[in-house]
A and B are shown apart, each in its own frame.
Chain A
Amino acid sequence: MKLKSLTFGAVVSVTALLAAGQADARDRIQIVGSSTVFPYTQAVAEEFANNTGQAAPVVESTGTGGGMKIFCSGIGERTADITGASRAMKVSEWQLCNDNGVTDITEVLIGYDGLSIAVSRNGTALDLTKEQIYLALATEVPVNGELAPNPNRTWSDVDPSLPDMAIQVFGPPPTSGTRDAFVELAMREGCKDNAFFEALKVSMEKKEFKAYVKEHCSRMRQDGPFIEAGENDNLIVQRLDADPEAYGIFGYSFLFENSDRLQPVTVAGVAPGMDTIGDGSYTISRPLFFYIKNAHRGVIPGLEEFVEEYISETAMGPEGYLSERGLVVLPDDQREEVQNAAAGSSAMTRYTN
């Protein structure tokens, strides 16, 4: 009977599935976190799996905040072992971790990542100051001594020395870590260089001024010249390629990979590059971290070796494979410190002292 054999087949396959579902303890390392750290963790995971022959780690790009949530959800083989972050762990996240019993965490600074503004090779290379970036892209800017909706439509409105060309900048959406970093490093800093805010700084208390800057300098304009382009940086690259008047904001590694099609906008005369980001002369750059759950070390097979691979000189050293992917490596002394701390599972002290 056709139907009977069908039912029988279904029963057999359900049983087989359930039997296969009785998985033993996890043998793959689980990593979540920032999409900026993702390519570096990817590289380490591949080297680790191919060199040691152990099970390939599972590396998931969840964004820094999302990664922290998963990482801090508890201890045990169902939770992630490592999370990547394109900024330091926040106090609130540290609290969350502690509340869920994740108290022994090692923080590892991997290196730096530059944020670049770029334009097609056929477009006009600009040299901008952070103040000009702020004036071109913020929702509110000072006009005649008070804050008003941004009236600048062309670059020459921002500064007469710049070309008379409509402002058109593609950038990441608010959910992205790249956006957070850009606002913090370019927009707010640009604000502080503006005469209007400098005058306020004198009259205000330090804390009050900081809050004021945070409130008034963090919003990107919504009236057209700044265009949110989604999380996919490749799409921004394609847009820039097609439109030489458009500028784009993304991580340095995308500029590095597409150097045949794109040229950088220099910031205060400095172009982004390995050297300029590393020595701090290119100032729109941010630190990248990963966090290890020490309670899982020695329990999850391979975790110890994975961390060793990550902090090894072949990975994060000056000639290492992470620098080939666009990571700006740490200076020698700082790197050694980080390597010792990670190897010795030193607990992070950011919020304990």
Chain B
Amino acid sequence: MAAKRHSRRRHARERYLRIVGLSAVAAALGMLGLLVVSLTFLGHSAFVQTMVDVPINLSEELIDRGEPAKGNYRKIVTEGFLNLLPEIQARGERREAGKILSPGARWIIKAAVVANPNLIGTTHTFTLPLADPFDQLHKGVIPRDVPQDQRRVSDNQIAWFDHIAASGRISSPFNWGLFFNADSRFPELAGLAGAIAGSFYALLVCFVISFPVGIAAAVYLEEFAPRSRWTDLIEVNINNLAAVPSVVFGLLGLALLLNFLGMPRSAPLVGGITLALMTLPTIIITTRASLTAVPPSIREAAYGIGASRHQVVLHHVLPLALPGILTGAIIGLARALGETAPLLLIGMNAFITSASGGITDPATALPTQIFIWADSPERGFLARTSAAILVLLGFLVTMNGLAVYLRRRFEWQW
């Protein structure tokens, strides 16, 4: 009887433990889900862009064939666009109507003409982005049913916009510009190309520095270093270093790399070195763990057939530990990709309207780009901030997925 009661109690406790564990997992997943859902809710509208088809007359009077870059594109665009609204004649109204089109449209046409001068003298239909307030109007973010002084677009502008929309010229294609444009002050033109390039170069520098140095340090500590008070001290320090807040590394980068060594501000090179300092402890720790995981029998077998210490490490232990090391490195890099604080301190949060061309060319990074957009007053940047966070999350998921794949694919089962 007592034994039965006892066993029932034990079963109840096990159920209880299971429920607690399961609800903890559910809570964690719920929070992640909440984050992704709220970001998608806020950011999904930035993945499409409201465009308008405008026939533009690229007359030779306004563009010189010899110097296509020097044309009066402002006039060309405005005239082309206002041809869609022939009833507007008054100067003030023309100015007001001109604001429906993105102010950056003239640069798009200029780039197209410079790339293909044969367009001069023809009438070509361009698909151009609308200015941010009208993009927001079309997406329903700016309400139509409030009095005129409570929104950024006037009643007249809405009427003209609807007139153009009625002719079927307005479309909402996928916003490729979000990935292929550099930053801009106009939300409808702003994209992540500069930030993606900057993050790529910074991570490249980070990888090239931290990976070999981290492995070399770990191999020495694990395979060659004698156990002594010194190696213990080094070990404790490395573990501490892994927990140092990243902003400290940023300050170090600012003081040492910028002020003392005189490296260029805002450069991915400096960002990469700073991030490498931060990633190094992670790589050393995971590499050491992977080296320890290689069973002693492998080492002993190698020694048994007469291999030297260097041969044992380089030919046997390290290759077998490599999948684990790579996984650790990728997770370390993923952390570095999301790091903001050190980059802010070394100036990688600048506004640059062209993508970076190399590791010393100034650039932003994905997290700092999010930071800049979150601080911009234009309404369109609200959605773009969330969209940029989703893109960053996408990269992180891909990198972590790659780490999982490598572990599954190449891991040895002992």
Contacts and interface: CB of A to CB of B under 8 A. Distances in A.
Asked if chains A and B come from one complex, the reply is yes
A23 interface: yes
A117 to B, nearest CB: 17
Interface residues of B, number: 49
B351 A38 contact: yes
Nearest to B106: A50
A30 interface: yes
Interface stretch (B143-151, B295-303, B395-403): B143-151
Contacts of A10: 208, 211-212
B185 A17 contact: no
B269 interface: yes
B43 to A, nearest CB: 14
A13 interface: yes
B375 A232 contact: yes
A58 B174 CA distance: 29
Interface string A228-245: 000111100000000000
B349 A78 contact: no
Q: Which one of A39, A61, A254, A260 has the highest number of Cβ atoms from chain B below 10 Å of its Cβ?
A: A260
B152 A234 contact: no
Contact of A60 (B204, B266, B318): B266
Contacts, number: 120
Contact of A59 (B204, B211, B352, B358): B352
Given A3-B318, A121-B150, A46 B353 contact: yes
Interface residues of A, number: 50
Interface stretch (B54-62, B332-340, B377-385): B377-385
Given A2-B319, A50-B107, A59 B350 contact: yes
Nearest to A51: B107
Given A49-B354, A234-B375, A259 B150 contact: yes
Q: Which one of A41, A42, A80 has the highest number of Cβ atoms from chain B below 10 Å of its Cβ?
A: A42
B184 interface: yes
B318 A260 contact: no
Interface string B341-377: 0000001011111100011111000000000101111
A21 interface: yes
Given A45-B353, A46-B184, A78-B262, A253 B377 contact: yes
B205 interface: yes
A3 B377 contact: no
Interface of A: 2-3, 7, 10, 13-14, 17, 20-21, 23, 26, 28, 30, 35, 38-39, 41-43, 45-46, 49-50, 53, 55-62, 70, 78, 80, 121, 231-234, 253-254, 256-260, 321, 325-326
